[in-house]
Amino acid sequence: MAGAGAVPTRICVLTHRLGPVWEEGPFQRCFRWLLPEVVKRGVDVDLVAVGTAAALAWAPDRGPLRVFALGCDTWASAHSELSRYFAARRPVACVSVDSLLSVLALAAAAELGRPRPRIYPWQTTLTSAAAAKMPTPTRVKLQQALRCRYPDAARILGVSSDCVADLSSLGVRFARSGLLPNCVDQNYVTTVASGNGRDNRVLDCAHVVMGIGALSREKGYDVLVQAIASLDTDELDLGLVVLGDGAERARLTALADELGIGRRVILAGHRNDAWQWFDTASLFVHPARWEGFGMSLLEAMAYGLPVIATSCPGGPKEILERGRHGLLVEPENHHDLAAAVERMVREPDLRSDLGSRARVRAAAYAPTTVASVLLDMVCG
């Protein structure tokens, strides 16, 4: 960090693109809280989008926190533009939030003379699981690139320890690693969630189970629908609302209808006001088969919702500290998930206790805390 009169340290945070709305993804939400805290410590931050970037109210185009858009639509152009950016701005470090971007940054930095930026790949997902969805040639090329380039990284950062361990399972070697989770501004989430002044209920139920996430197989919402269907929803006066969209939407709708609970399941699609739905929920469920971190889970905990999550590979079990701050069930087990939901519904004292525990745990992911961790690893 810079002293009085010294030139400030500059770091670069590299991402794909930036947009102005909530559904742009968990890292955009994390950035808006984390990066201003980094700037407060006397470090300049360039938020660099390889693609497009919208004007962001919290990151002006001048001063110690700036947004740069390289505007590239091919890897070749991104490589050359990133090299030019590194040469012009001379960041001491670059934190990259995607494996492909990390390979790109490592390649671009390797072509510069000294000094060159230290590259810190920030592993935000389970690479092996994400790669499994790619065409075989793409997957093979990615794994080869990781094995070639990642040994040159200054340190591998992971949003969860499983994200780092997963690299080793692919034969990727690296010298050092560290845990850098996402962060959440608890006061911000609570203020937005509580300040809507209107009733968002779309189900006339005493108890609403809520989930937020992409409607894709790894998120496990088919398991959650099966769990709800196995309960006596009329007797429990129970319904399910999931915010998000994706390829599984039609299948999930058909599954709910087939299991006879279509009238008690609402797939509400993408919502920019997602936090404002927290106030209508009795509990939050994160039923993933695998998950890099679990940002929506943490945001629900920040608001004080009692939560149920799976002990899947990835971040949720770490966020819940193996069940200290919410109920954990095995992934893909709709019977255990149904039992956990029913227990929550029938035990108001449990909901109250776990809601309080959730808020306390979410405070451990405050932007001030995560900013200190980041700077200790990148600038220390």
The predicted-structure confidence for 81-94, as pLDDT tens digits, reads as follows 999 999 999 999 99
pTM: 0.92
The predicted-structure confidence for 5-17, as pLDDT tens digits, reads as follows 444 699 999 998 7
Q: Which tokens is 331 given? A: 């992934």
pLDDT over threshold 50, residue 3: no
Q: Using an 8 Å Cβ cutoff, are 162 and 248 in contact?
A: no
Query: What pLDDT was estimated at residue 28?
Result: 79
The predicted-structure confidence for 329-348, as pLDDT tens digits, reads as follows 999 999 999 999 999 999 99
The predicted-structure confidence for 197-224, as pLDDT tens digits, reads as follows 545 556 789 999 999 999 999 999 999 9
Side chain identity at residue 118, one-letter code: R
Q: Cα(323)–Cα(326) distance, rounded to whole angstroms?
A: 5
Q: What is the CATH number of domain 9-180?
A: 3.40.50.11930
Domain ranges of the chain: 9-180, 186-364
Contacts of 157 (CB under 8 A, 6+ apart): 95, 120, 121, 122, 123, 164, 177, 178, 179, 180, 377
Sign of the alpha-carbon torsion through 352, 356, 362, 368: positive
Q: Using an 8 Å Cβ cutoff, are 220 and 310 in contact?
A: yes
Percent of the chain with pLDDT over 70: 93
Q: Using an 8 Å Cβ cutoff, are 13 and 35 in contact?
A: yes
pLDDT over threshold 50, residue 308: yes
What is the band of 117 on the pLDDT scale with cuts at 50, 70, 90? very high
For residue 10, give Cα distances in angstroms to 44, 60, 89, 115, 318: 4, 16, 8, 13, 31
The predicted-structure confidence for 98-112, as pLDDT tens digits, reads as follows 899 999 999 999 988
User: At CA 105, angle to CA 102 and CA 111, rounded to 5?
Assistant: 145
Task: Give the CA diameter of the chain.
Answer: 70
Q: Using an 8 Å Cβ cutoff, are 98 and 292 in contact?
A: no
Instruction: Answer yes or no: CATH 3.90.420.10 is held by domain 186-364.
Output: no
Q: Which tokens is 328 given? A: 């954990």
The predicted-structure confidence for 20-40, as pLDDT tens digits, reads as follows 654 456 777 889 899 999 999
- Asked whether this chain's domains 9-180 and 186-364 adopt the same fold, the reply is yes
What is the pLDDT averaged over residues 114-134?
Answer: 92
Kindly provide the residue ranges of all beta strands, DSSP E only, lying in 165-206, ordered along the sequence.
177-179
Q: Cα(183)–Cα(160) distance, rounded to whole angstroms?
A: 12
Q: Chain-wide mean pLDDT for the chain?
A: 91
